[in-house]
DNA sequence: CTGAAAGCGCTTACAG
DNA sequence: CTGAAAGCGCTTACAG
């Protein structure tokens, strides 16, 4: 491979001079600058980034970790974050899958150590508290998004899961529902736990006794199958509403229920979470979803800007809890 | 930050010895190994990857580039590739968005130069021919997936777009369709061009004179809007079938058409492309899609294995064109 | 089994 | 404006 030394030789100057022109520094006479540029062009020279990173102790790259890159909700974040880095800063963002369900032999954090200036972790499965502590002790800049993890020195951005769930359940109760089920993905999820708290508190505050939570997994198909099963309980137990952990689950559930002849919202009300654009695909068949919108874009912007500030020690950054908005649309109505 | 030198001092040995235990090399007496391990634990030591990369001239990381990480079809590839690297090799994979539609100030290829052992580019918008040539000249290992780019020294994996499109059009013709429209995303797309060739050849071979291609953009909404418009042409010109560049477009088109009272497949036949699992979400409202399945998983496996072989100079690898399969389901039928 | 030394490809005071 | 030299944190022959 060709190095800075080769360019120096080709152009008849020193490595120092080559370095200066590569980095667009002033104080190089035009004639030499030109020679260097030509040599670079001629030999297809690209600086070796590991060498540069080592010398500069910075990389102009940040790492973004998510549980599963192709998961819908996270994909939006990934998209936004990428664009913000692109548009506003001269930073590259790289992405890593962090699927905790498959015990991975790859230690990304070790792999990536110091080859990155900052870290963004999205979703609670993307990182552990212990890992965060190690990063902080190493002086890294890190922000976590939607994890519920609180570690000194890492900036945390989250959403008011408890309150907004309370609000959604209250909405159902106000409509007259008495038997409302809470559907989550995985019990271990802090998200689930927070929302579960909101669910139970609302039941309690309004004196409802029916109290049932179920975790069904992350996939559309899980929700669809569960809808099929749930139909029975609707008939037997007089269930009239469900609060779902995301929109994909809500759509799956609705499809499963309707398959069994239970119409939404006439016979049954459903609340989703996330307000995914994806749901457009079903828009002509399923009523617009009552759901909860997270201020995703704002969160992404704040995440990127804060990380940037942290990396440049610009100023103190502060944790933030964003408020979600209950979007009442057409999958919830009075029970009949 | 703490370096190998700090560990050496703490453990009372030389850097060489520390390096040996960090890399699990034999030939270190147990008592010293233990001391080093303790020092590492105590000081939270992680090797600086840039330094190691520079010394070793290898990184154990590959980069995967796609146009848009959150795009549906690519997301599947990303998912598969990640899992294969995880399961079979001790390699990390990092992902980069390469959205050519937003002129980016970030030169990923430069950023990532030599901080990665190999490259996978997915989809034609992920890389240019010129970039590939530069990488080859620099001796990099690179594979391209679904790009139609042929550059000496880069392994190319693609799909028989021309043939399978021909087959799909023939299927429609066999059913009795005479006016078939070809719907693409962007004219500049080689994918479009290949499929267009297949479309035109089939028309020609079977003596059809109606010949019309349209490019409508990549999003669901584009297709839906276009479906609304297309409805008119169906009435006026007697169009009876469409071949779409992907399933999302097919669903959007169907929704648009049905909105205007045109039923699929009774009044109009539609063929999709990709056989996305995503389409499940509409399965209770739209008939199962006649579409084209790409052997995606096989392609991902071959891509990862080939790249691994190239990086280790194990053996010659060969370009591959995978055959797609026309899945005849329920959105195509005889015209009425 | 162990350590001193050279080298990986860059950057950047420093001296001129 | 320019170059020689030291240094970034690691690895690995080499000598002992």
How would DSSP label each residue in A116-141? SSEEEEESGGG--HHHHHHHHHTT-E
Q: Is the pLDDT of residue A165 over 60?
A: yes
* Contact status of A113 with chain B (Cβ, < 8 Å): yes
CA A267 distance to own-chain centroid: 34
d(CA A292, CA A274) in angstroms, rounded, equals: 5
Q: How far is B316 from chain A (nearest CA, A)?
A: 22
Q: Is the pLDDT of residue A112 over 90?
A: no
Q: Residue B29: exposed, middle, or buried by beta-carbon count in 10 A (0-12, 13-18, 19+)?
A: exposed
d(CA A203, CA A213) in angstroms, rounded, equals: 12
pLDDT interval class at B69 (50, 70, 90): confident
Average pLDDT over residues A190-208: 94
Q: Residue A172: exposed, middle, or buried by beta-carbon count in 10 A (0-12, 13-18, 19+)?
A: buried
Total count of residues recorded for chain A? 336
Q: Is the pLDDT of residue A335 over 70?
A: yes
| Helix/strand/coil for A306 | helix
Which residues, including other chains, have CB under 8 Å from residue A25's CB and lie 6 or more apart? none
Task: Give residue A111's pLDDT.
Answer: 77
DSSP labels for B189-206? Answer: -HHHHHHHHHHHHHHHHT
Nearest to B110 among A46, A137, A259 (CB): A46
pLDDT interval class at A181 (50, 70, 90): very high
B87-105 residue pLDDT tens: 888 788 888 887 655 555 5
pLDDT interval class at B74 (50, 70, 90): confident
B298-320 residue pLDDT tens: 999 999 999 999 998 877 779 99
Question: What tokens were used for B259?
Answer: 């909105």
User: Which residues from chain A sit within 8 angstroms of residue B252, using beta carbons?
Assistant: 281
CATH class of A161-293: alpha beta
DSSP labels for B154-168? Answer: SEEEEE-HHHHHHHH
Task: Give residue A71's pLDDT.
Answer: 67
Q: How far is the CA of A38 from the C1' of D2 (A)?
A: 19
CB A49 within 7 Å, strand C: no
Task: Give residue A184's pLDDT.
Answer: 94
User: Which residues from chain A sit within 8 angstroms of residue B104, using beta carbons?
Assistant: 86
Cβ contact A78–B94 (<8 Å): no
User: How far is CA A99 from each of CA A73, A135, A185, rounded to the nearest angstrom?
Assistant: 15, 19, 15
* Contact status of B263 with chain A (Cβ, < 8 Å): no
Task: Give residue A7's pLDDT.
Answer: 95
Task: Give residue B223's pLDDT.
Answer: 93
Q: In B98-230, at which residue ranges do the beta strands (DSSP E only) sit? A: 118-122, 141-145, 155-159, 180-184, 212-215
Percent residues over pLDDT 90 in chain A: 64
Window 114-173 of A: residues touching B by CB (8 A cutoff) are 114-115, 134, 137-139
Question: What tokens were used for B84?
Answer: 């294969």
Q: Is the pLDDT of residue A208 over 80?
A: yes
Question: What tokens were used for B56?
Answer: 């070793």
pTM to 2 decimals? Answer: 0.89
CATH number of B61-159+296-322: 3.40.50.2300
Task: Give residue B102's pLDDT.
Answer: 54
| Residue closest to A243 by CA, chosen among A207, A209, A212 | A212
| Helix/strand/coil for B291 | strand
Note the maximum CA span of chain A.
Answer: 88
d(CA B317, CA B141) in angstroms, rounded, equals: 11
Question: A183 has which bridge partners?
Answer: A214, A244
Q: How far is B107 from chain A (nearest CA, A)?
A: 8
β-strands A291-293, A325-327 pairing: antiparallel
d(CA A11, CA A40) in angstroms, rounded, equals: 9
Within chain A, all domains assigned CATH 3.40.50.2300 are found at: 61-159+296-322, 161-293
Nucleotide nearest to B23 (CA to C1'): D11
Task: Give residue A319's pLDDT.
Answer: 95
A211-223 residue pLDDT tens: 999 999 988 889 9
Task: Give residue A90's pLDDT.
Answer: 78
Q: Is the pLDDT of residue A139 over 80?
A: yes
CA B261 distance to own-chain centroid: 36
CB A293 within 7 Å, strand C: no
Within chain A, all domains assigned CATH 1.10.260.40 are found at: 4-56
Task: Give residue B112's pLDDT.
Answer: 81
* Contact status of B51 with chain A (Cβ, < 8 Å): yes
User: Which residues from chain A sit within 8 angstroms of residue B68, using beta carbons?
Assistant: 79
Task: Give residue B228's pLDDT.
Answer: 95
CATH class of A4-56: mainly alpha
Cβ contact B94–A63 (<8 Å): yes
Q: What is the DSSP letter of B290?
A: B
User: Which residues from chain B sit within 8 angstroms of residue A61, using beta carbons?
Assistant: 111
Which residues, including other chains, have CB under 8 Å from residue A130's CB and lie 6 or more apart? none
Helices B220-237, B247-259: axis angle to 10 degrees equals 50
pLDDT interval class at B126 (50, 70, 90): confident
Average pLDDT over residues B200-215: 96
Residue with tokens 């790259």: A61
Please answer whether residues A127 and A109 qualify as being in contact, where contact means their C-beta atoms are separated by less than 8 angstroms: no
Nucleotides of C under 7 A from a protein CB: 1-5, 7-13
Please answer whether residues A63 and A117 qualify as being in contact, where contact means their C-beta atoms are separated by less than 8 angstroms: no
Cβ contact B106–A99 (<8 Å): no
Q: Is the pLDDT of residue A163 over 90?
A: yes
Q: Is the pLDDT of residue A124 over 90?
A: no
For all residues of chain A together, what is the average pLDDT?
A: 90
Please answer whether residues A124 and A68 qualify as being in contact, where contact means their C-beta atoms are separated by less than 8 angstroms: no
Average pLDDT over residues B198-227: 94
Nucleotides of D under 7 A from a protein CB: 1-5, 7-13
pLDDT interval class at B270 (50, 70, 90): very high
Nucleotide nearest to A48 (CA to C1'): C9
Average pLDDT over residues A56-66: 90
Question: What tokens were used for B210?
Answer: 């109606």
d(CA A142, CA B167) in angstroms, rounded, equals: 52
User: Which residues from chain A sit within 8 angstroms of residue B47, using beta carbons?
Assistant: 110, 113
A238-273 residue pLDDT tens: 999 999 999 989 999 999 999 899 999 999 999 999
The dihedrals phi and psi of B20, each to the nearest 5 degrees, come to -60, -45
d(CA B261, CA B282) in angstroms, rounded, equals: 18
| Residue closest to A23 by CA, chosen among A33, A32, A31 | A33
Instruction: Kindly report the number of other CB atoms within 10 A of residue A129's CB atom.
Output: 12
Task: Give residue A334's pLDDT.
Answer: 96
Q: How far is A83 from chain B (nearest CA, A)?
A: 9
Among A240-249, A318-327, B21-30, B62-71, which stretch is predicted with the lowest mean pLDDT? B62-71
- Spell out which residues of A between 44 and 63 contact strand D, using CB within 7 Å: 51, 54-55, 57
pLDDT interval class at B137 (50, 70, 90): confident
Task: Give residue A34's pLDDT.
Answer: 94
| Helix/strand/coil for A96 | strand
* A189 or B127, higher pLDDT: B127
User: Which residues from chain A sit within 8 angstroms of residue B106, using beta carbons?
Assistant: 85-86, 90-92
């Amino acid at each position: 491979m060709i190095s800075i030394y080769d360019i120096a030789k080709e152009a008849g100057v020193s490595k120092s001079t080559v370095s200066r022109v590569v980095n667009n520094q002033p104080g190089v006479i035009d004639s030499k600058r030109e020679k260097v540029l030509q040599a670079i062009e001629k030999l297809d020279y690209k600086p070796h980034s590991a060498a540069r990173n080592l010398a500069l102790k910075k990389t102009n790259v940040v790492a973004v970790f998510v549980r599963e890159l192709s998961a819908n909700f996270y994909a939006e974040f990934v998209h936004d974050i990428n664009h913000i880095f692109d548009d506003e800063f001269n930073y590259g963002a790289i992405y890593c899958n962090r699927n905790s369900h498959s015990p991975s032999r790859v230690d990304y954090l070790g792999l990536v150590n110091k080859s990155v200036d900052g870290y963004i972790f999205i979703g609670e499965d993307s990182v552990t508290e212990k890992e965060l502590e190690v990063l902080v002790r190493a002086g890294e800049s890190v922000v976590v998004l939607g994890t519920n993890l609180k570690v000194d020195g890492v900036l945390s951005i989250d959403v008011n899961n408890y309150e907004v769930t309370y609000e959604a359940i209250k909405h159902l109760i106000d409509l007259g529902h008495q038997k409302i089920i809470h559907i989550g993905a995985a019990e271990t999820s802090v998200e689930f736990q927070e929302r579960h708290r909101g669910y139970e508190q609302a039941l309690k505050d309004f004196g409802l006794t029916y109290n049932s939570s179920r975790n069904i997994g992350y996939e559309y198909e899980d929700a669809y199958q569960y809808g099929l099963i749930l139909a029975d309980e609707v008939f037997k137990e007089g269930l009239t509403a469900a609060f779902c952990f995301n929109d994909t689950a809500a759509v799956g559930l609705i499809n499963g229920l309707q398959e069994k002849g239970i119409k939404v919202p006439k016979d049954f009300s459903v609340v989703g979470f996330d307000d995914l654009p994806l749901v457009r695909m079903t828009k002509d068949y399923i009523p617009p979803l009552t759901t909860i919108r997270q201020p995703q874009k704002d969160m992404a912007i704040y995440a990127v800007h804060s990380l940037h500030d942290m990396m440049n020690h610009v100023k103190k950054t502060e944790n933030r809890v964003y408020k979600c908005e209950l979007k009442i649309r057409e999958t919830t109505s009075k029970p009949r």
